[in-house]
Amino acid sequence: MSDDGELLAGFGRTDITPAPNFPNGMWMAQKHLRATGIHRRLYASCVVVGTASNAVALVNYDLTILSAKQVAAIRDAIHERIGLPRDRIWLYVTHNHAAPVTQDFYDREGADEVRKYVQSLPALSAKAAEQAWKARQPARVSSGRGKCHIGVNRDRNHHGRVITGPNPGGFADPEVGVLRIDAVSGKPIAAIVTYGCHPTYLGPTSTVISPDYPGVTRDVFEGLTHAPCVFLQAGAGNVGPFRGFLGDTAEVERCGTILGCEAAQVYLSIPANGAEARIEHVIESGAPLGIVGDPPQPKQAAMFRVISRDVRLPTDNPGPTVYDTVENDIKVSGEKVERLRASNAPEAEVQHATQQFLRHRLRLDRKRMYGVEGGFPVEVGAIRMGDVYFVSVACEAFAELAVAIKDRAPSRQTVFAAYEGPDVIYIAPEAAFEPPVSMEVFNSPFGPRAAQMLVDGAVGVLNELS
């Protein structure tokens, strides 16, 4: 849909931090079920951008995953509150692994608390969207890009076995994408920062609920720029921290600060890009002092377009995959939990076995979700605001996909994001299926052709915008 009307934008945010002792076993490898504290606050942040008659809401959460049921409920609540069509409400997660439990099937310690927390998300999301909707004002959008190397390829061949560990020689995308959204007066409305790296600095031994490095990046960025920041995960499927899976927050703070500083530098440099050195007046002194006037404001976007398309991808992973044996795995792991409880085993052992059982429950949910005949539809959303483009895909995209889409985009001013929609999962390039395969390929239902088909589909959507 295209609209050449005045561009409007607004920002809203709500706090979604749970209780300090809330269940946080999203690793499903912990030896504990409940957290012991909060590292930093968690939020749902919303940017609404568009015209009076044509807009889209981008809502991001400091969470690991949202289920299809949860996404539908949130979209319904936002639609009822501000009237946006459901396909113009795009939901993203930072995929933070130190987040509270949000799985619909969770039936262990604190299950009632998890259910109430999940049930609170639609209303909290609608509140953030309403804030953004009511705050809309005439706006300009510009973009910039930087580089950061806190993330490295995480598929390491370790004695003939691919483990999830630092592989600095492997492929990663160091680009930091920044969308700067300002009021026509020059006052900041919001910034969207994208970067691809798994938020897995905190590992199974950590007992705090945390937004991991995206939360630190957001807080540092906002402290430096005084602009609200929405962090969106980019091509992180095969990228993670150099030192991850830790039990304390020191490395989270260090690397989140590095990325926040780089994003702020890019953001603050955008208005001066290409500005002319216009001498406003001269002060006579020991030397004639040329006073440069304020740089001209970027030209307001003359066009707003938004498209959302499903690209159907083949779920023909030649395997083996985790889905081949998941029913038996659930049976065996469930029996192990009962056996440990009956023998009065140490509680840490029981909880660790419980987490393993929950991991298989998640895999069964995914098998049911993705195991549809004829492939699975992956959503591609794209926005054009003047010369600036934004594109996102509903999956855990490998870094190679992010780079390929940006390289083929019709504009250099293209910002890429992923992790949109319900319980996203890996899409790996064809080369990744050569043995030994990585964990991501072992956990993906998608086959070798899917990555190129998604890239072609996303580029096609971007070309429609142009």
Cα–Cα distance between 38 and 109 in angstroms, integer? 19
Distance CA(114)–CA(19), nearest Å, equals: 11
Per-residue pLDDT tens over the stretch 96-150: 999 999 999 998 889 999 999 999 999 999 999 999 999 999 999 999 999 999 9
Rounded Cα–Cα distance for residues 13 and 338 (Å): 43
User: What confidence tens digit (pLDDT) does each residue in 415-440 have?
Assistant: 999 999 998 999 999 999 999 999 99
**pLDDT tens digits, 189-201:** 999 999 999 999 9
- For residue 333, give the DSSP letter: H
> What's the mean per-residue pLDDT of the chain?
94
Calpha distance 457→309 (Å, rounded): 9
Predicted confidence band at 1 (pLDDT cuts at 50, 70, 90)? Answer: low
Report if pTM > 0.85: yes
Cα–Cα separations (whole angstroms), residue 381 to 24, 56, 91, 366, 463: 31, 10, 11, 22, 12
Give one DSSP letter per residue of 176-221, joined into a string.
EEEEEEEETTS-EEEEEEEE-----SB-TT--EE--HHHHHHHHHH
Helix axes 450-465, 399-408, angle to 10 degrees: 30
User: What whole-number percentage of the chain has pLDDT above 70?
Assistant: 96
The Cβ-side half-sphere exposure at 207, using a 13 Å CA radius, reads 8
For the ranges 234-248, 251-265, 286-300, the lowest mean pLDDT is seen at: 286-300
Q: C-alpha distances in angstroms, 159 versus 76, 162, 228, 436?
A: 50, 8, 45, 11
Dmax (CA) of the chain: 90
Query: Higher-confidence residue: 296 or 428?
Result: 428
